[in-house]
Amino acid sequence: MADEVSEETIRSLEATALEIRRDIVRMTHAAGSGHPGGSLSVCDLVNALVFQELRIDPARPDWPDRDRLVLSKGHAGPALYSALALRGFLPREELWTLRKLGSRLQGHVDRGKLPVIEASTGCLGQGIGMAVGMALAARLGPHAFRTYAILGDGECQAGPTWEALMAGGHYKLSNLVVILDRNLYETDGSTESIMGIEPIADKFRAFRYHTIEIDGHDYRQILGAFAEARRTTEGPTAIVAHTVKGKGVSFMEGTHVYHGKPPSAAELERALTELGAPSGAPR
Amino acid sequence: MTPAGPAESLRDAYGKTLLELGGKDPTLVVLDADLSGSTRTILFGQKYPDRFFNVGVMEPTMMSIAAGLALSGRVAFASSFAVFAAGQAYNFVRQSICYNHANVKIVATHGGLLVGGDGGTHQMVEDIGLMRGLPGMTVIVPADAPTTRAATLAVHAREGPAYVRLTRENLPVVTDGTFQLGKAAELRSGSDLTIVAVGAMVARALEVADELAQMGVSTRVLDFASVKPFDEPALLRAARDTGAVLVLEEHSVLTGVGALVASTTSENYPVPVRRVGVPDVFGESGDPWALLDRYGMSLERIRDEAWELLRVRGKVQ
Ligand SMILES: Cc1ncc(C[n+]2csc(CCOP(=O)(O)OP(=O)(O)O)c2C)c(N)n1
């Protein structure tokens, strides 16, 4: 399934992933607030979408046929902002304005401020519904784009998520791909200790999704799942991406502690060292 | 800019008061929706794990579960950020809690623009209007930590639904904590002008009133923490005594305390009223205190509005 993916593609994605992870820790540190844990876990998924899967064009950001990406877990904006900047949709200098007064880079992704964002999110549970609406619009035409939506696992506790998923299955939206960032943690702890969502893949199947489980940090598996989704014509696809919260920064991995806490100055240095970055100022 | 004086956390005051109540009232249960560290209900949860329900990201259903517990003999406190407690869960608060007159106390943290970096999606400036409009709902907006403690005790003691709106930022202590339901607190006496304020704006009201006093203007400051029941007599007395009312709130001027003051005075004793609050817009990310200035609640703006009222009343040239 991952047959067509070249070594070169993988290496290039791994290189951008490293940049994005460095940006995430730098941006949240500079802002003094934000969500590094869930940005780091979703980084490889966002990276693969922005650099490989989505039909988008920095020269024509409002191209009507462009594929749509809805980041339903809108607090993971740093990952998306960084990827979009690296892909040429916004100047890299702008990354360091995250969460500052007047910035286009809001604490939660904001279409009104930054039009390349397809849908403003932040309050969980609303992104899948908007993605379903976009997929219905694409089916009505004339612009036959595909819609991708990224969902958090804590967000799966929210009822509206399931209402929207039900609609996507009911309408057999084969142009819709829902990607779950299954990083196991939410704000206060692990999802299974707070309000268990398992068996989550079975839930997607029961809601009539072609469901694929992958390692959300393995680019061959990520791109393979996207390709499989394209071949799925009977209905929507759900990709359960098993990820590590805080992936890439050892002390942020597998814990909820850095869900909504940026790294301190010392922690930033440690993180950047682990991410192989020259220390000091951004860039 | 940050107001002067020692600031204390309203959220900590709430969490500690819940702990205190937990020891006294075995019927007390507490619910949260994956924000217990921020709302501070975690303090109760650690001490009384079997009476604490962190239900995850499901604020609407948290309100229904709280109602079910309350309808079965428990006193339920349910907490989240204001945008989720009052916004996300609105119709669940309306029907499960208010329509049933269930004994649920919603204590919402992160009200208003002072949320800061999270941005406009999270800065709830419509909650006072939403909650005040619900029949049977008590609504309290404490200005500081001592009032937060007193308000938590007061809503616990009073049967029926309540909404308490807290601020994320620490706020200077401006009251002696002798909060009473249905009573406005007169923090400064005065005869030239009245400033009515709630929440974080009470400290700004005092700052401007003290400046005005140095210029010979006598300003009455009323802390209307008890938004509902509302102390109508205190407002009308102030309108009669001073002839003009300036209202300060970190909330939409469309539906908040300013609208309440304007309608109450115009029906009973019309005087000029000016509203300082959030205009008809959403907020954005930024430094919390800079946001207050940016969105029309700066000290400068408050001073201007005060002088404008004094001019209208012919008290200054
Ligand atoms: C409706 C709603 N309730 C609460 C919040 C506050 N909040 C922000 S992130 C979060 C936890 C989300 O967990 P998850 O979806 O697993 O995010 P991830 O771990 O992927 O970052 C919560 C409760 C919110 N944004 N929206």
Percent of chain A with pLDDT over 70: 97
A194 touches chain B (CB under 8 A): yes
In a domain, A148, yes or no: yes
- Which of B172, B198, B233 is a domain's end point? B172
Residue A169 contacts B where some CB pair is shorter than 8 Å: no
Pocket test for ligand 1, best of A186, A188, A200 (most atoms within 8 A of CB): A186
Rounded distance, CA B256 to CA A82, Å? 39
Q: For residue B61, what is the enclosing H or E element?
A: helix B59-70
- Residues of chain B neighbouring A158 (CB-CB closer than 8 A): 57-58
Question: pLDDT for B69-119, tens place per residue?
Answer: 999 999 999 999 999 999 999 999 999 999 999 999 999 999 999 999 999
On chain A, the residues whose CB falls within 8 A of the CB of B42 are 188
User: The domain that contains B303 carries what CATH number?
Assistant: 3.40.50.920
In terms of DSSP bridges, do strands B138-140 and B226-228 run parallel, antiparallel, or are they unpaired? Answer: antiparallel
Q: Are residues B165 and B224 in the same domain?
A: no
- Pocket test of ligand 1: the residue of B34, B36, B57, B110 to mutate, having most ligand atoms within 8 Å of its CB, is B57
Ligand 1 geometric centre to CA of B56 (Å): 9
The answer to whether position A128 is within a domain reads yes
**Beta carbons of A155 and B57 less than 8 Å apart:** yes
Q: Is A155 in the pocket of ligand 1 (CB under 6 A)?
A: yes
Query: Among residues 72-131 of chain B, which lie with CB inside 8 Å of chain A?
Result: 83-84, 87-88, 116-122
Domain encompassing residue A238 = 2-274
Q: Which residue has the tokens 């407690």?
A: B85
Q: What residue owns the CA closest to ligand 1's atom 17? A: A152
Alpha carbon of A154 to ligand 1 centroid (Å): 6
At A278, the pLDDT band (50, 70, 90 cuts) reads: confident
In a domain? residue A283: no
Query: Does the distance separating the beta carbons of A32 and B117 come in below 8 Å?
Result: yes
Contact predicate B151/B164, CB 8 Å? yes
Distance CA B258, CA B249 (A): 7
How many whole angstroms separate alpha carbon B276 and alpha carbon B246? 7
Question: Number of structural domains, chain A?
Answer: 1
Partner residue opposite A188 with nearest CB, options B54, B84, B120: B54
Same domain, B17 and B82: yes
Domain assignment present for residue B48? The answer is yes
Q: For an interface test with B, give the residue of A33, A100, A106 to mutate (most B CBs within 10 A).
A: A106
Mark whether B80 and B209 lie in a shared domain: no
In the predicted model, residues of chain B with pLDDT beneath 70 are 1-5
Specify the ligand 1 atom closest to the Cα of A259. Answer: 21
Q: How many residue contacts between A and B have a Cβ separation below 8 Å?
A: 100
Final residue of a structural domain among B121, B145, B172:
B172
Beta strands in chain B (DSSP E): 7-8, 28-32, 52-54, 75-81, 104-109, 138-140, 162-165, 171-172, 185-188, 193-197, 219-223, 226-228, 245-252, 273-278
Residue B1 in any domain: the answer is no
Q: Are residues B56 and B15 in the same domain?
A: yes
Q: Give residue B225's domain range.
A: 185-312
Kindly state whether residues B203 and B284 are assigned to the same domain.
Answer: yes
Q: Is any Cβ of chain B less than 8 angstroms from the Cβ of A120?
A: yes
Tens digit of each residue's pLDDT (9 = 90 or more) over A143-192: 999 999 999 999 999 999 999 999 999 999 999 999 999 999 999 999 99
Q: Tell me how far the alpha carbon of residue A21 lies from the centroid of ligand 1, in angstroms.
A: 20
CB proximity list for B150: less than 8 A, separation 6 or greater: B142, B177, B178, B179
Q: Which of A34, A120, A159 is nearest residue B117 as measured by Cβ atoms?
A: A34
Instruction: Please give the structure tokens belonging to residue A236.
Output: 């929507």
Q: Is residue B17 part of a domain?
A: yes
Nearest to A120 among B35, B121, B291 (CB): B121
Q: Give the B window 5-34 contacts with A, CB below 8 Å.
A: 32, 34
Q: Check B34 against A121: CB less than 8 A apart.
A: no
The predicted pLDDT at position B4 comes to 44
Give buried/exposed letters for A142-174 (b at 16+ CB in 10 A, else e): eeebbbbbbbbbbbbbbebbeebbebbbebebb
Domain count, chain B: 2
Do residue B215 and residue B292 come from a single domain? Answer: yes
pLDDT at position A280 is 55
Q: Is the CB of A153 under 6 A from ligand 1?
A: yes
Query: Are B146 and B57 contained in the same domain?
Result: yes
Going by pLDDT thresholds of 50, 70 and 90, the confidence category of residue A4 is confident
Query: Is residue B259 located within the same domain as residue B292?
Result: yes
B260 within domain boundaries: yes
Q: What is the pLDDT of residue A281?
A: 54
The confidence score (pLDDT) of residue B1 equals: 33
- Residue ending a domain, among B172, B201, B227, is B172
Residue A3's DSSP bridge partners are: none
Please give the number of the atom of ligand 1 that sits closest to the Cα of A153.
16
Cβ contacts (< 8 Å) between A102 and chain B: which residues? 284, 286
- Interface ipTM > 0.90: yes
The pLDDT assigned to A279 comes to 62
pLDDT tens-digit series, residues B251-270: 999 999 999 999 999 999 99
In a domain, A281, yes or no: no
CA A52 to ligand 1 center in whole angstroms: 27
Question: Is A58 part of a structural domain of the chain?
Answer: yes
Residue B28 lies in a domain: yes
Ligand 1 contacts CB of residue A185 (under 6 A): yes
CA of A67 vs chain B CAs: smallest distance (Å): 25
Same domain, B132 and B209: no
Q: pLDDT at residue A2 above 90?
A: no
Query: Do B117 and A110 count as a contact with CB atoms less than 8 A apart?
Result: no
Over residues A206-260, the pLDDT tens digits come to 999 999 999 999 999 999 999 999 999 999 999 999 999 999 999 999 999 999 9
Which CATH number fits the domain that encloses residue A131?
A: 3.40.50.970
Interface list for B 159-188 with A (CB within 8 A): none
Q: What is the CATH number of the domain that holds B40?
A: 3.40.50.970
- In this structure, is residue A280 part of a structural domain? no
Kindly list the residues from chain B whose CB atom is less than 8 angstroms away from the CB atom of residue A184: none
CB-CB under 8 Å, A102 with B118: no
| pTM: predicted TM-score of the whole model, two decimal places | 0.97
Ligand 1 near A125 CB (within 6 A): yes
Q: Would residue A237 count as lying in a domain?
A: yes
**Do the beta carbons of residue B65 and residue B55 sit within 8 Å?**
yes
Number of Cβ atoms within 10 Å of the Cβ of B233: 11
Residue A282 pLDDT class (50, 70, 90 cuts) = low
Whether the CB-CB separation of B180 and B233 falls below 8 Å is answered with: no
Distance from CA of A100 to the nearest CA of B (A): 5
Task: Indicate if the pLDDT at residue A198 is higher than 80.
Answer: yes
**A245 within a domain of the structure (yes/no):** yes
Subunit contact B287:A155, Cβ cutoff 8 A: no
